[in-house]
Structure 1
Amino acid sequence: MDMKKRIVIIRSNPVEPDSRVEKEANSLVKGGYDVQLLVWDRTRNGIYNDTKVLADTEVKRTCLGAKATYGEGIKNLRPFLLFQYRIFKWLLFHRKNFDYVHACDFDTAFTSAIACKLLNIPYIFDIFDYIGTNPRNFVERIVNFFEHWIINNAAGTIICTEQRKNQICGSHPKKLEIIHNSPDKIKLGSIKIKSTNDKVRIVYVGILQDYRMILELAEIVKKHPQLELHIGGFGKLEEQIRHLAEVSSNIFFYGKLSYPDTLALENQADIMTALYDPSIGNHYYAAPNKFYEALFLGKPLIMVRNTGMSQIVEEQNIGVLVDYNEKSLSKGIFELISEKEQWTKISIKMKYIYKTAYSWKEMERRLWAFYSKLGS
């Protein structure tokens, strides 16, 4: 009997939660692979092992602790370099314990690629966010060069939308697969929304950082008592959001949520948002979790023009597009509210689009096929 192929998935967060990593790991275990997570825990120092519970199974997790703060850039250089050193050291010391390295994004793939080249072990480059889009200076050109080098030397590369083929133009992947970040049909969590009135509920759960119009959205809701903002997540803006929730009767903060609870809270929304700064090149090619979650749940969506998947919202008429400023966002919210009688029809349409074009069942099949071809 053949032994299970062993995969270590490396991610620069603790996967607590990380919906894409969790779904991929769960699907790979279902496909007959032995999976382990190697992650960065920014809340503490030291290295420790535990178990990560997934939708259908559980996997081993090794946490490389190096205290840092999300969204602080150069201030995190020392812990970031420590994380890189520990990735390299772990791969070398455990080289007999895995057959593939599945590295997520440049911040784990660069070090993983070097280690795998030395060890003659195949690695997969899973691109969630591509850094080297339209490099404008020397540093960005260097990063772009190395991202191409990682792709060209990887056993296979995974991207999350068709459009990203243009983003990695100039590289030469040996095998390329498109796996959209669609929600899986998992059981929703038990969390209950913190209000019982008939106000319009806007829900956002995700990383709380700049360039997502989070504070602008909160300011709009503060000014309009007929609206509510239900927000969860963690990151740089967490304390500001917590304070806004304390002083505003129509803003509710839930902190960090599991993925089932994230979907459960979103399922109680009237409107969802995916608001990214289009001046950041990577956002043009983004595949926002909120886009897929809104489709899955059938919730009208507000997005910024010329950001990833916004053209689908416009073409399918399943929400509104806005410019990247508070005035336009406010106008978009009330434009969508004015179409409230259409929300049921929009919901049915969104769920149909998810089922026919983006279901995780299809993405899972692609992931299994991708790995099965790596040895060919």
Structure 2
Amino acid sequence: MKNKKLVWIILFEDFEVDGRVQRQVQALSDTYDVSVYSVTSKDIRSNYLNAQFIKIGSKVGFSHSSLIHLIKNLIFAKKNPDAILFNNIYTIPALILLKLFFRKSKFIYDSHELIVPDPITKYSIASKKSIFLERIGVKFSDLILCTNEKRSELMQQYYGLSKAPTSIENFVDIIPCSEDDKKVYKVRGKDKVKFLYQGILKDGRYLKELVDAFVFCELSEFHIYGFGPIESDLKDLALNHGILNSKVYFHGKLARDNLYSETIKYDAGLVLYDFSNMNNTYCSPNKTSEYILSGLPILCTPQESLSDLIEKHGVGECFSRVDLDNNSKLVASTIDKFAKNISCYQLRVNEAKDEFNFKKQADILRVSLLYLLSEGKV
């Protein structure tokens, strides 16, 4: 039996909370011998889909000591990987250093975030350092991955790349729900359309603006799962408006194991980002596919990547940015109008589900790596 080619996956993060890396493992572990090196403070599973996991250090995230520890572990492993996949900007120093030791290995960089600068924004020293590091890292990489086509265009233009990075969308890997699933999980006795937000509770997500808007909603409820620095402020705001636990509900942090069974209970999903930086302006949230595969149409902020998705598949609507910034009553009108047409949106979601499954994205990753290892640079 022919030996599988060896692929190392590197991340300065807890594997258990990085869905993109989990999907990398799922896409590659049947074809390749995959080892995941995770710099984390937490215990990690010993195996997952036939992959091997190696915990590095005792603290999560990047530091000079964790970088040294990682480099030592990889060098003394005395193996020669066919490819090394580096995740996020924090792995760039490791990418640069390991290029000295593994000259025959193919280096893959998955950017995760959009680092290229906005000409208007003033950047901190740390941000400027990240931009500088990524500029070097992409030049050392044989294959560059990003999360959508627009980001690919921007990276190619800014870094002067001969070929645009390969886009691997942040589509989740869950089985699309059926109408029977929705009937089983649907909350009984509720006549209002239930809008769901899942994620961090922080400034820059228009959450306060939405709480203000739900005061005027007649057909809709706002259900929030998550935690973060403005959680108490949001609860106080809802309480002061007199809509806490009548129009706005807080459910705390959602356990990953319960993600699907909870999401499917709701009628529509909210995807919310501000425009404060390039990463948000050209966002690529996994919530879009997670909601759609769970049968939820989307009401979202009007980023280009989101509005293109909405227009192409008809699976929801975008808020007006002007309304979000200035007019709670108009935002409420948008929400209730969406609620009135929820059945039409849900029908389109059911028709579009196959377009949002990770299977197609996994195929792109597998084909790209196959070509890289068999012929050369992609």
- TM-score, length-scaled by structure 2: 0.78
Q: Which has the larger radius of gyration?
A: 2
- Could you tell me how far apart the structure 1 residues matched to 2:233 and 2:6 are? 42
Change (3 A) 1:163 1:67: closer
- Could you tell me how far apart the structure 2 residues matched to 1:262 and 1:230 are? 14
Residue 163 of structure 1: CA displacement? 0.9
Name 1:33's counterpart in structure 2: 32
Residue 361 of structure 1: CA displacement? 1.8
Change (3 A) 1:187 1:288: closer
Name 1:366's counterpart in structure 2: 364
Equivalent residue letter for 2:112 = F
Residue 98 of structure 1: CA displacement? 3.8
Higher relative strand content: 1
1:82-121 equivalences under 5 Å are 82-94=65-77, 96=79, 98-120=81-103, 121=105
Answer yes or no: is the 8 Å Cα contact 2:171–2:290 preserved in 1: yes
Name 1:71's counterpart in structure 2: none
SS at match of 1:365: helix
SS at match of 1:268: coil
Gaps of 5+ in 1: 69-78
Answer yes or no: is the 8 Å Cα contact 1:51–1:59 preserved in 2: yes
Residue 89 of structure 1: CA displacement? 3.4
Name 1:268's counterpart in structure 2: 265
- Could you tell me how far apart the structure 1 residues matched to 2:70 and 2:78 are? 12
Answer yes or no: is the 8 Å Cα contact 2:11–2:38 preserved in 1: yes
- Could you tell me how far apart the structure 1 residues matched to 2:20 and 2:329 are? 31
Gaps of 5+ in 2: none
1:304 to 2:301 alignment: yes
1:189-338 equivalences under 5 Å are 197-218=190-211, 220-221=213-214, 227-233=220-226, 236=229, 248-249=244-245, 250-258=248-256, 261-314=258-311, 316-317=313-314, 318-323=316-321, 325=324, 327-328=326-327, 331-338=330-337
Residue 253 of structure 1: CA displacement? 2.1
Change (3 A) 1:49 1:301: closer
Name 1:19's counterpart in structure 2: 19
Name 1:66's counterpart in structure 2: 59
Q: For 1:308-335, what per-residue CA distance to the aligned partner results, in whole angstroms no more than 9, with x for missing partners?
A: 3223325654223232746557633542
Answer yes or no: is the 8 Å Cα contact 2:201–2:226 preserved in 1: yes
2:46 to 48, 51, 60: 51
SS at match of 2:197: strand
Equivalent residue letter for 1:129 = E
Change (3 A) 1:89 1:296: same
Answer yes or no: is the 8 Å Cα contact 1:206–1:234 preserved in 2: yes
Change (3 A) 1:24 1:331: farther
Q: For 1:25-72, what per-residue CA distance to the aligned partner results, in whole angstroms no more than 9, with x for missing partners?
A: 111113x1122333343xx5xx7553365xx6665252543268xxxx
- TM-score, length-scaled by structure 1: 0.78
1:170-185 equivalences under 5 Å are 170-172=159-161, 176-185=165-174
Cα RMSD (Å): 3.7
1:130-145 equivalences under 5 Å are 130-134=114-118, 136-137=122-123, 139=125, 140-145=127-132
- Could you tell me how far apart the structure 1 residues matched to 2:102 and 2:229 are? 37
1:155 to 2:142 alignment: yes
- Could you tell me how far apart the structure 2 residues matched to 1:227 and 1:285 are? 29
Residue 251 of structure 1: CA displacement? 1.6
Change (3 A) 1:334 1:138: closer
SS at match of 1:201: strand
Residue 86 of structure 1: CA displacement? 3.5
Change (3 A) 1:331 1:161: same
Change (3 A) 1:328 1:122: farther
- Could you tell me how far apart the structure 1 residues matched to 2:11 and 2:129 are? 22
